[in-house]
Amino acid sequence: MNSSDDIFLTVFFCAVLLAIILFTFFILIINKKILRTNKKRIRTIITFINNLSDGIKYWLQKHEFFATFSVVGVLLIFLWSLRLYTCFISLGESVSFCKVVIIQSLICLSFVISVTPGNLGIKEGLTVFIANYLNISPSIALLASLIDRAVEILVVVITGMIFSHFLVRKI
């Protein structure tokens, strides 16, 4: 090694050491903010758990509400399954209604953790994944899911226009 290599290595190691020291100070300064933020998050999580616990206790005390919402939930899954089944039939795919109910039930579970508004894209991807697992053609499943989404949006737009007309008339 010559002297220019020694100088380069010395400067390089000094720069790395300086970067490590600055990074350490940066972490120490940010760490205080992180601790304060974590305390807020912990309080938020505890509040959420307490509210969830209170809600579960309330639902367990009110059996008629629980039964009503369970029946309505099953009815909605059945109607949504019927809509998706109609989409499959319109594409000429002979699918058993039980498979469509399984697909729709799992899609409804995905709405609990909604990453995008209306599970846009996730619902379709999940439909394709589950349909493939149930030996239904993925391309047909995607088309059926897209038709289902289009019908869903069309119903929302039409009912929205009708009810907004009634609301405007009342004003």
pLDDT tens sequence across 72-83:
999 999 999 999
Residue 99 has what pLDDT? Answer: 94
User: pLDDT by residue (tens digit) across 94-125?
Assistant: 999 999 999 999 999 888 777 788 888 889 99
Length in residues, the chain = 171
CA distance 127 to 112: 16
Residue 160 has what pLDDT? Answer: 92
99 in Cβ contact with 136 (< 8 Å):
yes
Q: 38-52, 75-89, 96-110, 139-153: which has the minimum mean pLDDT?
A: 38-52
Residue 38 has what pLDDT? Answer: 64
Tell me if the pTM is above 0.85.
Answer: no
Give the position of tokens 């579970």: 109
